[in-house]
Amino acid sequence: MSTVSLSLNEIFDLAKKTLLANGCDEENANILSDTLMRAERDGSHSHGLFRLPAYVAALKSKKVNGKARPEVKKISPSIIKVLGNNALAPMVLKVGLPELIKLAKETGVAVLAITNSHHMAALWPETEAIAEEGLVGFACTSYMPLVAPAGAKKALFGTNPISFAWPRPGKTPVVYDMATSSMAMGDVMVAARDGKKVPLGTGINKDGKDTTDPKEIVKGSGGVLLPFAGYKGSAIAMMVELLAGALVGETFSYETAEKDNKDGGPPSGGEFILAISPEKITSSNWIKHSDEFFNKMKSMDGVRLPGERRHKNRLNLGPRNINSDLVKKIRNLSE
Ligand code: NDP
């Protein structure tokens, strides 16, 4: 794979120029470019610049409003709703997260229910931002049907990621962020692009047979992804459909697909975010106690904490190697 070396500033500038040329205003372009740059910085490759052409497709078709201003509504002392007004998720989170954090600090627990937002990014930016404020964070969102429920051969669930972050005051939070499919569709697409195989159990082809060829699993191939860990992952994916759909007042993945204009960009949907204050629930011993637990985990051979790979990548402020075809494609989008 041939690559181009781009500094973090160049990644940000490339994204911003492209977004401004395709209908974003300054604020939306800044916030989204920052999210894309941070994904590249942390090595979340399937959710960095790789997603920019899809964002542009959605901006061009006007499915996404690049000048949107999401609205925050306080529903109760511990529930807030953000109407996305067709903004991309990072813009919605920018206005919603500070309110969620404020409420959780006041009441001990708070929910952020997001509707009409377009999510195609990683979820760690939201849970990590919550944990950096000393709160436990949880987030999930559904997508379009790409994953077969356990036992089925046709898709019903989205890849439905969940993320959880545990605060460690004075240290980087412990964060996991994962699709509930055996593999994120972005990674299957990257594997298909790079001519690599995927592990058996990732998905089935259009005939319902197990396959290691990502081209037989990607969107439009007729194949589908499988949930992680069989019926157990299937149950978690179902939970995400309910939390980010019926609970927040948004669509299930199959309904999202029915109303989507199929431009390839992120569809409009919901997100469920929870913030909990350990300080309000327990004594301040929780910091020492959980640190002991993490230390015990890390002392075991072969164990690392989730999020550590990203956080290590983050310390490197040097340039990143980005796929040359992708950079060429993005540069063409702003001409
Ligand atoms: P991975 O399988 O790469 O990683 C899942 C989690 O496990 C990460 O937190 C990772 O931490 C951790 N992890 C990986 N290996 C180990 C290990 N050996 N020991 C301990 N922890 C480990 O993620 P996915 O491919 O499932 O998902 C990728 C991204 O796709 C996520 O950010 C997700 O939010 C996003 N996504 C977004 C969707 C959307 O619609 N918005 C849909 C589906 C997915 P680390 O990062 O440090 O490696």
Ligand 1 touching residue 306 (CB < 6 A): yes
Q: How far is the C-alpha of 99 from the C-alpha of 306, rounded, in Å? A: 27
Per cent of the chain over pLDDT 70 is: 100
- Using the mean position of ligand 1's atoms as its centre, give its distance from the Cα of residue 59 in Å: 27
> Do 70 and 93 fall within a single domain?
yes
What's 207's domain CATH number? 3.30.60.50
Q: Is the pLDDT of residue 1 over 80?
A: no
Give yes or no: 118 in active site.
Answer: no
Ligand 1 touching residue 253 (CB < 6 A): no
Q: Catalytic pick from 33, 42, 44, 47? A: 47
Of the candidates 101, 94, 46, 51, which has an alpha carbon nearest to the alpha carbon of residue 71? Answer: 94
Q: How far is the C-alpha of 134 from the C-alpha of 303, rounded, in Å? A: 25
Please indicate, yes or no, if residue 291 is contained in any of the structural domains: no
Q: Is the pLDDT of residue 238 over 80?
A: yes
Q: How far is the C-alpha of 62 from the C-alpha of 75, rounded, in Å? A: 30
> Do 73 and 171 fall within a single domain?
yes
- Using the mean position of ligand 1's atoms as its centre, give its distance from the Cα of residue 228 in Å: 12
Put simply, whether the predicted model's pTM sits higher than 0.75 gets the answer yes
> Do 86 and 201 fall within a single domain?
no
Residue identifier of the C-alpha nearest atom 14 of ligand 1: 306
Mean pLDDT value across the chain: 96
Does residue 158 contact residue 149 with C-beta atoms inside 8 Å?
A: no
Q: How far is the C-alpha of 253 from the C-alpha of 313, rounded, in Å? A: 33
Ligand 1 touching residue 161 (CB < 6 A): yes
Q: How far is the C-alpha of 39 from the C-alpha of 168, rounded, in Å? A: 22
> Do 159 and 208 fall within a single domain?
no
Please indicate, yes or no, if residue 114 is contained in any of the structural domains: yes
Instruction: Locate the ligand 1 atom nearest the alpha carbon of residue 303 and give its number.
Output: 19
Does residue 322 contact residue 6 with C-beta atoms inside 8 Å?
A: yes
Q: Stretch 221-247: mean pLDDT, rounded? A: 97
Ligand 1 touching residue 267 (CB < 6 A): no
Please indicate, yes or no, if residue 128 is contained in any of the structural domains: yes
pLDDT the model gives residue 283: 79
Q: How many CB atoms lie within 10 A of CB 211?
A: 19
Q: Is the pLDDT of residue 141 over 90?
A: yes
pLDDT the model gives residue 187: 87
Instruction: Locate the ligand 1 atom nearest the alpha carbon of residue 180 and give its number.
Output: 26
Q: Is the pLDDT of residue 270 over 90?
A: yes
Q: How far is the C-alpha of 260 from the C-alpha of 268, rounded, in Å? A: 7
Give the domain range for residue 194.
Answer: 182-221
- Using the mean position of ligand 1's atoms as its centre, give its distance from the Cα of residue 80 in Å: 27
Give yes or no: 325 in active site.
Answer: no
Residue identifier of the C-alpha nearest atom 2 of ligand 1: 178
Please indicate, yes or no, if residue 288 is contained in any of the structural domains: no
Structural domains counted in the chain: 2
Q: How many CB atoms lie within 10 A of CB 185?
A: 23
Q: Is the pLDDT of residue 335 over 90?
A: no
Instruction: Locate the ligand 1 atom nearest the alpha carbon of residue 177 and give its number.
Output: 9
Tens of pLDDT, residues 6-37: 999 999 999 999 999 999 999 999 999 999 99
Instruction: Select from 221, 236, 252 the last residue of a domain.
Output: 221
> Do 140 and 192 fall within a single domain?
no
Does residue 180 contact residue 233 with C-beta atoms inside 8 Å?
A: yes
Q: Stretch 299-311: mean pLDDT, rounded? A: 98
Q: Catalytic pick from 33, 187, 253, 268? A: 187
Residue identifier of the C-alpha nearest atom 27 of ligand 1: 178
